[in-house]
């Protein structure tokens, strides 16, 4: 009988890896801060090492309500998602993952509800940074708990949705806002550059 952490119920024996975009492949927080400082040089800002909430606007709202509105205006602007910088090593790791035997990798991202630019620009970012063939590897959903996979690599510490116990193991990708979060026994992946992601994948593959 399959145990709690076993993946034996899956019909395919490939490891299905879901990878988030914002703050895992692309640096949402750094660009948000740079743009905020450039547009509002006289307003207080939150340095990345002092970020705590998942949504930046929630932390800015505690300083002043209008700062939260300014933050939202930035990520709703044309070009914001298209021009996000890459998290170091992310694209090389994704390309290597895609070529790994016994691994199938998908990008799993939640678009903003105000989708005017965000939706299209997520596709543009993927095409520019990873290549056209990755356009077939995109799962865009407001509810990641309904996505099927063995593992979801995502910076959001608490991922909630319609399914109370999602099928995937959530590996928390370390980000400025979650360094101090209580992740309750979940594993972390700190970066794409020190090679530890390969150990994680090997470990997960042993259980497929
Ligand atoms: N740190 C963030 N502050 C505000 N909004 C954010 C942050 N990270 C992501 N978002 C937005 C942008 C995305 O469209 C959605 C969901 O992001 P995801 O990385 O897929 O959980 O929230
Ligand atoms: Mg994210």
- The verdict on the CB of residue 111 being under 6 Å from ligand 1 is yes
Ligand 2: centre distance to CA 97 (Å): 19
| Section 17-44 average pLDDT | 98
Please report which ligand is nearest the Cα atom of 54: 1
Ligand 2: centre distance to CA 102 (Å): 25
Q: Are 146 and 162 in contact (CB under 8 A)?
A: yes
What tokens appear for 174 in the block? 């370390």
Q: Residues with Cβ < 8 Å from 152, sequence gap 6 or more?
A: 18, 19, 20, 108, 144, 159, 166, 168, 169, 170, 171
Q: Are 166 and 145 in contact (CB under 8 A)?
A: yes
DSSP-assigned beta bridge partners for residue 129: none
Per-residue confidence at 3, pLDDT binned at 50, 70, 90? Answer: very low
- The complex's ipTM? 0.90
- In the chain, pLDDT over 90 holds for what percent of residues? 92
| Section 19-36 average pLDDT | 98
Name the residue with the closest Cα to ligand 1, atom 7.
55
Ligand 2: centre distance to CA 128 (Å): 19
Q: Are 82 and 119 in contact (CB under 8 A)?
A: no
Q: What is the pLDDT of residue 7?
A: 52
pLDDT digits (tens, 9 = 90+) for 83-120: 999 999 999 999 999 999 999 999 999 999 999 999 99
| Helix, strand or coil, per DSSP, at residue 154 | strand
- The verdict on the CB of residue 59 being under 6 Å from ligand 1 is no
Active site residue 154: no
What tokens appear for 29 in the block? 């927080």
Q: What is the pLDDT of residue 171?
A: 98
Please report which ligand is nearest the Cα atom of 113: 1
Per-residue confidence at 207, pLDDT binned at 50, 70, 90? Answer: confident
Ligand 1: centre distance to CA 157 (Å): 12
- The verdict on the CB of residue 27 being under 6 Å from ligand 1 is no
- The verdict on the CB of residue 109 being under 6 Å from ligand 1 is yes
What tokens appear for 4 in the block? 């709690």
- The verdict on the CB of residue 156 being under 6 Å from ligand 1 is yes
| Section 162-173 average pLDDT | 98
Placement of tokens 């993952």 in the chain: 97
pLDDT digits (tens, 9 = 90+) for 182-192: 998 999 999 99
Active site residue 143: no
């Amino acid at each position: 009988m399959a145990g709690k952490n076993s993946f034996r119920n899956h019909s395919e024996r490939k490891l299905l890896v879901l990878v988030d975009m914002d703050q895992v492949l692309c640096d949402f927080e750094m660009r948000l801060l740079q743009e905020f400082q450039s547009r509002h040089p006289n307003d207080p800002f939150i340095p990345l090492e002092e970020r705590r909430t998942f949504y930046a606007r929630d932390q800015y709202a505690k300083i002043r309500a209008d700062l939260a509105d300014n933050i939202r205006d930035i990520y709703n602007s044309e070009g914001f998602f298209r021009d996000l910088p890459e998290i170091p090593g992310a694209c090389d790791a994704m390309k290597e993952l895609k070529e790994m035997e016994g691994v199938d990798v998908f990008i799993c991202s939640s678009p903003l509800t105000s989708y005017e630019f965000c939706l299209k620009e997520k596709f543009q970012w993927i095409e520019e940074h990873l290549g056209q063939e990755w356009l077939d590897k995109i799962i865009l959903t407001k509810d990641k708990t309904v996505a099927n996979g063995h593992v979801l690599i995502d910076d959001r510490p608490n991922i909630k949705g319609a399914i109370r116990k999602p099928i995937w193991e959530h590996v928390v990708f370390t980000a400025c806002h979650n360094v101090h979060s209580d992740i309750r026994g979940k594993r972390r992946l700190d970066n794409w550059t020190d090679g530890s992601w390969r150990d994680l994948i090997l470990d997960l593959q042993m259980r497929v």
